[in-house]
């Protein structure tokens, strides 16, 4: 018979909570670096937010990006960004928004098509105006803010307020560092990235809730056990589930990143970072923060089935 796959040995006793000061310092530097990068470099907003023309094209033969860029620059359409994705026959063309209304954007698209020729397969063509872009920025910011508020209310109702504070700080840490990553790498920040951030928030809080639930259960079981030891035990008891979930998710995300094309690459990158940083924050940030918020131990269940204990299981 096959034995179940275990990445983590049973009864591990890794002292996660004892590394809290190192983890807090590392996270603080990450957040400062993210904010600094955001202020200095800013975000490379995609066509969704700043407006412009996007064309996804495919050719039967390999296309030379430098030659295509040289041809399009002759058209005097402003900033032109060209990148290859997927196969060597596929490229993505981004052109800044043209002065004027819809008529001018369509004229620019037709001009590009005439330059590239009829042998090219124009798989996707779209343009976004600046007004719509600003509305999408506001909607994206509102969506992230409401997501954080909703998660805070959920944690507050399910646990005590101390858990809600810890979860919100860890979640804010994940979102800020994800945005900072895009500022540092200057990857395109678009609607797919906003969707990834919201997904990260849900994934991270799910991880945190699993560990918090075990912490709450152990608080009722071990009345006299010091909190550091109790937190270490709770994290280790859920560590196998956490690592397996993260690993299987990362396997799918890396496949999307390398083989999903340029449209999904930004989403996959944000998710890959989010899964890693979310797992880290659930273990090293969310739980150790409970040491500093005057956490109170819960009362014994009325059923009496869970008798208080003073020592950790051997």
Answer whether residue 193 shows pLDDT above 80.
yes
Angle, CA of 120, 124 and 129, to the nearest 5°: 125
Of 58-62, 118-122, 181-185, 299-303, least confident by mean pLDDT is 299-303
The residues near 301 (Cβ < 8 Å, ≥ 6 apart) are 220
Look at 61 and 261; give whichever has higher pLDDT: 61
Reported in sequence order, the residue ranges of the chain that DSSP labels E, i.e. its strands, are 44-45, 52-58, 80-84, 90-96, 121-128, 188-189
95 strand-pairing partners = 53, 80
- The percentage of the chain sitting over the pLDDT mark of 70, rounded to a whole number, equals 88
Strand 188-189 with 90-96, pairing: unpaired
Cα–Cα nearest to 32, from 196, 130, 176: 176
Q: Residue 273: pLDDT above 70?
A: yes
Count of C-beta atoms within a 10 Å radius of residue 94: 16
- Both tokens assigned to 100: 């004027």
pLDDT at 182: 92
pLDDT at site 69: 82
Report the percent of the chain where pLDDT is more than 90.
25
Separation between Cα atoms, residue 239 and residue 211, nearest integer Å: 9
CA–CA gap between residue 27 and residue 46 (Å, rounded): 28
**Quick one: pLDDT at residue 314?**
54
Cβ atoms of 285 and 24 closer than 8 Å: yes
Q: Is 188 exposed, middle or buried (0-12, 13-18, 19+ CB in 10 A)?
A: buried
What tens digit of pLDDT does each residue of 9-51 get? Answer: 777 888 998 999 999 999 999 999 999 999 999 888 877 777 7
- Give burial (CB, 10 Å; 0-12/13-18/19+) of 276: middle
pLDDT of residue 24: 95
pLDDT at 307: 43
Residue 6, H or E segment: none
> Parallel, antiparallel, or unpaired: how do β-strands 90-96 and 52-58 relate?
antiparallel
Per-residue pLDDT tens digits for 78-131 = 777 787 776 778 888 888 777 777 788 888 888 888 888 878 888 888 877 666
- Higher pLDDT pick, 162 / 281: 281
Phi, psi torsion values for 125, nearest 5 degrees: -140, 125
Q: What 3-state DSSP class applies to 119?
A: coil
Using pLDDT thresholds of 50, 70 and 90, give the confidence band for residue 304.
Answer: very low
Q: Which two tokens stand for residue 90?
A: 């596929």
Q: How far is the C-alpha of 40 from the C-alpha of 33, rounded, in Å?
A: 10
Residue 212's CB: how many other CB atoms inside 10 A?
A: 25
| Joined tokens for residue 219 | 């608080």
Distance CA 72, CA 81 (A): 10
pLDDT at 1 over 60: no
Rounded Cα distance between 145 and 137, Å, is 12
Could you tell me the domains of the chain?
Answer: 16-43+133-292 (1.20.1640.10), 52-128 (3.30.70.3400)
Q: Indicate whether 252 pLDDT > 70.
A: yes
**pLDDT over 90 (residue 150):** no
Return the structure tokens found at 70: 């040289």
Structure tokens at 165: 């504070």
Query: Is residue 157 a contact partner of residue 169, using CB atoms and an 8 Å limit?
Result: no
Q: How confident is the model at residue 134 (pLDDT cuts 50, 70, 90)?
A: confident
Q: Would you state the pLDDT for residue 311?
A: 56
Tokens of 235: 């994290």
- Read off the pLDDT of residues 214-223 as tens digits, 9 standing for 90 and up: 998 988 888 8
How many CB atoms lie under 10 A from the CB of residue 61? Answer: 8
More confident residue, 288 or 139: 288
Query: Is 90 exceeded by the pLDDT of residue 233?
Result: yes
Task: Report whether 130 contacts 53 (CB < 8 A).
Answer: no
Average pLDDT over residues 161-184: 90
Q: Which two tokens stand for residue 299?
A: 């009362």
């Amino acid at each position: 018979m096959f034995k179940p796959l275990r990445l983590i040995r049973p009864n591990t006793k890794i002292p996660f909570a004892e590394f809290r000061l190192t983890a807090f310092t590392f996270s603080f530097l990450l957040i400062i670096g993210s904010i600094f990068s955001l202020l200095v470099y800013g975000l490379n907003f995609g066509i969704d937010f700043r407006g412009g023309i996007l064309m996804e094209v495919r050719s039967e033969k390999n296309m030379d990006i430098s030659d295509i860029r040289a041809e399009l620059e002759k058209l005097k359409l402003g900033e032109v960004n060209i990148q290859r994705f997927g196969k060597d026959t596929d490229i993505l063309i981004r052109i800044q928004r043209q002065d004027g209304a819809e008529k001018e954007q369509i004229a620019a698209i037709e001009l590009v098509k005439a330059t590239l020729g009829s042998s090219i397969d124009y798989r996707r063509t779209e343009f976004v105006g600046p007004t719509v872009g600003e509305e999408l920025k506001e909607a994206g910011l509102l969506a992230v803010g409401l997501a954080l508020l909703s998660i805070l209310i959920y944690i507050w109702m399910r646990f005590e307020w101390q858990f809600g504070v810890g979860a919100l700080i860890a979640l804010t840490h994940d979102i800020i560092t994800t945005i900072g990553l895009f500022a540092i790498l200057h990857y395109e920040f678009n609607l797919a990235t906003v969707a990834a951030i919201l997904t990260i928030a849900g994934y991270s809080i799910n991880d945190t809730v699993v560990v918090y639930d075990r912490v709450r259960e152990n608080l009722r079981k071990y009345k006299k056990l010091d909190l550091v030891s109790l937190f270490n035990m709770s994290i280790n008891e859920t560590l196998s589930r956490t690592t397996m979930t993260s690993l299987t998710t990362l396997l799918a995300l890396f496949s999307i990143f390398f083989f999903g094309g340029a449209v999904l690459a930004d989403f996959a990158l944000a998710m890959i970072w989010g899964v890693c940083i979310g797992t880290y924050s659930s273990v090293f940030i969310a739980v150790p923060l409970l040491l500093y918020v005057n956490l109170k131990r819960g009362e014994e269940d009325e059923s009496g089935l869970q008798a208080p204990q003073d020592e950790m299981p051997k």
